Structures are given as structure tokens and as C-alpha cells.
Amino acid sequence: MPTRATLPSWRYVNRVFLFLRVPQLLSTCVAFSLVADMGLRGDIGNWFMSFWCICFIVTLFIVIIEVNGLQPRFPFYWYNFPVTFACYAALICLSASIIYSITYVQFLPDVPEWDRAVAATAFSCIASVLYAIEMAGMWNFYKLKEIPCYLHTVPSLLNVLETFVAGVIFAFLSNTSLYLHQPALVWCVAVYSVCFISEAVTILLNLGKWEHRLPIPFPICQLVLTVFSVLLYISALVLWLLYQFYEELGGLPQRSSDVSCVDGLMCTWDQRLAVAVLTAVNLLVYVADRGYWAHRVSIETED
């Protein structure tokens, strides 16, 4: 078992710092700076600008910690943190590049703002590639050195995917007019929040190797949480579909029914549909997660 300060060799860290971390900082900094310099960004633009800013800040934080050798001062196993963050950052920057270009950039007129938006999308793509290279490189390095890595397990990858999809859902829910008018839709937002928090706590327990401090076995705890999350997401999916798209409950079954949908721009109806699709996707991920833990608990029970 490695110590909390376990990291790849200093030579390898230098390579990552020089060839990946510095371009990551530049790419994310340029991306959010270009979008921040624009006037009208919309709710989605503000969310992804925040995502790029967070990626920049956390990357800078990692660089400062590793350059100054401060890893042993953290109460968790530091070697798991950079590779886990790189996984999140790669997904965030990739999704930001796709969603921002589809929902905003393509509808801008040929003005200076369009050039800035295209450049921000390009730098976001570059950042996603750099983070993906870092994640793959460190993942393989840990595997080669037989260092147990959080991302080497199936449930950890499912946890990352669950929290990432929930984060994208929250980006679309930044338009509060989607749900504040209906208590059933507020319940859906509460479901997304509760499940996101529970998964975030699970990730922190695994990163710190604290899962064995729970009063019950960790697999049983995870099985209960995933079953609970599946039931919550089923209720959220059903309620969201009914109250957003069923006309008798005040929903809009067709895009043409939404007066805000003009000129091909992404409108409220599109955001409702995006949340519904992402809810269904996350439900499937939770079902797969529940299947994994049910299988593991059954094996341990037999043993």
C-alpha cells in the first residue's frame, strides 16, 4: 500500500508539468478569458465559463502542491487526486466544447464575438485532449508500477460518470424557469442534488481510503445507496417527462408549442429535452452500478 505522498518519479512529474500542465493552464485560461470578454453569454455560456475557470484553478493548485512537495500534508492519498481530476477535466472540457458550440456558437452572427466563441471552443478542445493524455498516462503508469489507483475499478468509473452527468444536468437547470413553477419538478432537482452529493461523498471516501471506517461493510452501503438512487431517478424521470411534455399537466409536447423557440436557437423546450435525456442516461448508469454492487455483495455473502 503506497503512502499518502506516493507519486510517480520526479522526472515523470516534470514531464507532465512541462508538456501537459502548462498547456492545460494556458488553454483553460484562454477559453474562460475569451468567453468572459463577451457581453451576452447566456446561462449555458456562464456555466461552461465557470467550468473552464475551475479547471484552471484546480490545475494550478495541483502544480503548486507538487512543485513544492506538499503532498504529505493532505489527509488523503494524493496520488489518486490528479488522475481523478484529469478524468473529470477531460470530460468537462469535451462536453463544454460540444454543447457550447451546438447551443450558442453556431447561432452567432459573423462578428468579433463569433471569433472569440470559436477560439474558446478550440482551446477547450485542446484542453480536453491534454487532460485525457494526462489521465491515460498516469493511469498506465500506476498500473505498470502496481500502484492501486481509484480509477482502476469499475465502480469508480461509474461514480465519475454519474457525477459528471449530474453536473451537466445542473448546467441546463441554471434556467430556473424550467422547474420553479411546479413542486414536482422541484422534487426532480432535489433528486439530482441528493444523488450527486451521495456520489461525491463516496468518491471522497475512496480517495482517502476511508471506506472501511463506516459502521457497515462498504459494499452493502454502496448497494443500498445505488438502489435508493435508482428509485429516486426513476421518480425524477417519470415526473420530469409528465410535467414537461404532457399537455394536460401543463407541459409542451412539441417544440413548435414553445414560443421561445425561434430562429433555430436553443430554447427552453430544448433544455427540457436535454435534462430528460441526461436523466435517462444517468438512470442507466445507476442501474449498472447497482448491478455491480449486488453481484459483489452476493459473492462476499457466499464466501
- Say how far apart CA 170 and CA 185 lie, in whole Å: 13
CB under 8 Å to 14, separation ≥6 — which residues? none
Looking at residue 226, its pLDDT comes to 93
> Does residue 37 share a domain with residue 15?
yes
248 burial type by CB count under 10 A (0-12 exposed, 13-18 middle, 19+ buried): exposed
- Choose the final residue of a domain: 147, 167, 197: 147
- Same domain as 135, residue 233: no
pLDDT at 39 over 70: no
Residue 173 and residue 198 in one domain: yes
85 and 216: one domain? no
245 shares a domain with 110: no
Mean pLDDT of 72-80: 73
Let me know if 28 is exposed, middle or buried by CB neighbors in 10 A (0-12, 13-18, 19+). Answer: buried
CA distances in angstroms from 117 to 50, 102, 123, 126, 131, listed in the order given? 15, 11, 10, 14, 21
Q: In Å, how far are 31, 185, 219, 258 from 132, measured between CA atoms? A: 17, 35, 29, 39
- 259 in the same domain as 219: yes
61 & 191 share domain: no
- For residue 22, pLDDT beyond 50: yes
Of 130, 147, 164, which residue is a domain's last? 147
118 within domain boundaries: yes
User: Domain range for residue 138?
Assistant: 8-147
- For 140-168, letters b (16+ CB in 10 Å) and e give ebbeeeebebbbeeebbebbbbbbbbbbb
Least confident of 57-61, 79-83, 125-129, 180-184: 79-83
Q: Point out the domain boundary residue: 117, 147, 177.
A: 147
Residue 4 has pLDDT above 50, yes or no: no
Q: Are residues 13 and 32 in the same domain?
A: yes
CA distance 23 to 26: 5
Q: What is the mean pLDDT of residues 154-170?
A: 90
Count of the separate structural domains present in the chain: 2
Instruction: For residues 266-291, give the mean pLDDT.
Output: 90
User: What is the average pLDDT value for the chain, to the nearest integer?
Assistant: 82
Q: Is residue 121 part of a domain?
A: yes
